[in-house]
Amino acid sequence: MTAPESSAPRLRGRPRSPATDAAIIEAALRLLEEGASLGGLSIEGIAREAGVGKATVYRRWPGKEALMLDVLRSLEEPSPEPAGVSVRDDLVTILEFMRRRGLAKRNSALLRSVITQMHAHKELWRAYDENVIAARRACLRAVLRRGRESGEIRADVDLELLADLFTGPMLTRAMLHEWRELPDGLAERIVDTVLEGVSPRR
């Protein structure tokens, strides 16, 4: 895995080494894979595993929360950019990404463990929500606004509620009811069902 662009502020002086950044993040991932908990990880332990000094880590991240946010980002697949042609197709693109991410979580013990643990770490969860989930939510809202402006979605529909109606079924299957299937075509079925209910009345 490659290291994501860090959220930590850059300091003046010698340029950062991407290889060192990646080594630190990979070290954290190895420790998690070996059974370390998010709460049990320390900057000292991660630095030792990466073969660098503790000061090297702190020059890149102000603390463990910032480092772990970048570790979580390294597990993320970049979200696809909606094409902007068809509101229906853009919604399918967003939900299909969620479906594939749900399948990846089921297939990855590390991803499943990290996501489960993250809810117990409120500051980390809040940072993840603000830096990762919020951007995806904003993308979905933009598509829904375009649908309302084009007349594909009724003007009286609450877009925040509508966003939940689109994402809720996929999140429920992927995160809460992991025994439920995530079959091909599920994104299309959800989008078409919800759009039928919010399209202009004839």
Torsion sign across C-alpha atoms 150, 151, 152, 153: positive
CA distances from 150 to 101, 163, 199 (A): 30, 17, 11
How much is the pLDDT for 118? 86
Percent of the chain with pLDDT over 70: 92
List the end-to-end C-alpha distance of the chain, in Å, as a whole number.
Answer: 51
How much is the pLDDT for 10? 46
Radius of gyration of the chain from Cα atoms? 20
Is residue 105 within 8 Å of residue 174, measured between CB atoms?
yes
How much is the pLDDT for 113? 84
Measured CA to CA, the distance from residue 92 to residue 88 in angstroms comes to: 6
Q: Which residues of the chain fall short of a pLDDT of 50?
A: 1-3, 9-14
What is the residue-wise DSSP string for 2-68? PPPPPSSPPPSSSPPPHHHHHHHHHHHHHHHHTT--TTT--HHHHHHHHTS-HHHHHTT-SSHHHHH
How much is the pLDDT for 25? 96
Query: Into which CATH architecture does domain 18-63 fall?
Result: Orthogonal Bundle (1.10)
Q: Residue ranges per domain, the chain?
A: 18-63, 87-198
Which tens digits make up the pLDDT trace of 142-151?
999 999 999 9
Tell me the CATH number for domain 87-198: 1.10.357.10
The single residue listed with the structure tokens 């979905």 is 140
Question: Whats the size of the chain, residue-wise?
Answer: 202
- Give ∠ CA 33-34-39 in degrees, rounded to 5: 80
What does residue 60 show for φ and ψ, rounded to 5 degrees?
Answer: -100, -35
